[in-house]
């Protein structure tokens, strides 16, 4: 499927999903929101994710020790690249664990000025092995001027990684096209992350930010709910458009510093 075959909705025509009432404040209720608020979710998925992260650390340590032994014994140069992928993947998991442990204090925003493009490139670099293994084509359409944003870079980087990971999982081997676009709109940046994957049905689109909602085998449904909470506490608005069989586009609206 070529780039022109999947939907690109002009920003001027997109309808905001108005998620401000969906998560951050129990006294902000909007009956017209397609994502109805119940209160604040009492389950706090970020807390559960942090608890799971602690449990993952023990088997991850065993994996790292085993890989060290394999590296000392391996003689087949053709196998070395795959061992390297495991090593980088393990390091990435360890980094994500640290981020998850920080996410239990999502309300505490340690904001600082940072380049939007650098933050996006760093999140993308964390997905490099998966992108390579699935042979996904990545296109960057960045705005000419890279103004700074003021966010908690650790947490927002984690949120971007979640969105990118979902995009990668949704795309087929050798057919995936991931497009990252930034645009300057007044005092905000619009960041688009678009894939040509399987897309999301209208019914599921209403639920994707709810804790524990997932259609993935073995999935826990915590990624996007935690992502939404992080973005809201960093004053980042989000919009999502999708069509089954064509792809999905996440649009973030971020204040300039």
At 14-44, the pLDDT tens digits run 333 434 334 333 333 344 444 443 333 345 5
Residue 13 lies in a domain: no
Confidence of residue 70 (pLDDT cuts 50, 70, 90): confident
Residue with tokens 């990684």: 161
- Interatomic CA distance for residues 257 and 246, integer angstroms: 35
User: What's the whole-model pTM score?
Assistant: 0.69
245 and 168 belong to one structural domain:
yes
pLDDT digits (tens, 9 = 90+) for 96-123: 777 766 666 666 778 899 999 999 999 9
Alpha carbon distance 143, 211 (integer Å) = 34
Same domain for 132 and 96: no
| pLDDT of res. 23 | 39
Tell me, yes or no, whether 178 and 196 share the same domain.
yes
How far, in Å, CA of 98 to CA of 178, rounded? 27
Among the residue ranges 2-11, 89-98, 109-118, 145-154, the one predicted with the least confidence is 2-11
User: Domain count of the chain?
Assistant: 2
pLDDT of residue 45: 59
Residues 99 and 186 in one domain: no
Residue at 154 is within a domain? yes
> What residues have CB less than 8 Å from 49, skipping those under 6 apart?
100, 103, 222, 226
**Is 138 in the same domain as 232?**
yes
Look up the domain containing 62 and give its range: 49-103
Q: Which residue pairs, CB below 8 angstroms and at least 24 apart, start in 135-139?
A: 135/173, 135/174, 135/176, 136/168, 136/171, 136/176, 136/177, 136/178, 137/176, 137/177, 137/178, 138/178, 138/179, 138/180, 139/3, 139/177, 139/178, 139/179, 139/180
Q: Does residue 126 lie in a domain region?
A: yes
Q: What is the CATH number of the domain that holds 130?
A: 3.30.565.10
């Amino acid at each position: 499927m070529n780039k022109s075959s999947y939907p690109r909705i002009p920003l001027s025509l997109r309808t905001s999903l108005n998620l401000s009432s969906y998560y951050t404040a129990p006294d902000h209720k909007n009956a017209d929101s397609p994502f109805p608020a119940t209160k604040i979710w009492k389950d706090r998925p970020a807390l559960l994710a942090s608890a799971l992260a602690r449990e993952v650390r023990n088997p991850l340590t065993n994996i790292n020790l085993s890989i060290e032994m394999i590296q000392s014994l391996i003689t087949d140069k053709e196998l070395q690249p795959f061992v390297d992928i495991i090593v980088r993947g393990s390091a990435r998991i360890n980094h994500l664990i640290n981020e998850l442990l920080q996410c239990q204090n999502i309300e505490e925003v340690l904001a600082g000025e940072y380049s939007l493009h650098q933050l996006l490139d760093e999140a993308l670099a964390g997905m490099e092995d998966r992108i390579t293994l699935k042979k996904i084509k990545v296109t960057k359409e960045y705005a000419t001027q890279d103004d700074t944003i003021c966010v908690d870079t650790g947490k927002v980087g984690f949120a971007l990684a979640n969105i990118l990971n979902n995009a990668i999982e949704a795309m087929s081997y050798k057919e995936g096209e991931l497009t990252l676009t930034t645009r300057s709109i007044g005092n905000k940046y619009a960041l688009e992350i678009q894939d040509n994957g399987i897309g999301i049905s209208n019914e599921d689109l209403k639920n994707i930010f709810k804790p524990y909602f997932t259609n993935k085998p073995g999935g826990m449904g915590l990624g996007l709910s935690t992502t939404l909470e992080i973005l809201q506490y960093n004053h980042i608005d989000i919009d999502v458009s999708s069509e089954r069989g064509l792809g999905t586009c996440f649009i973030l609206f971020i204040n300039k510093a």
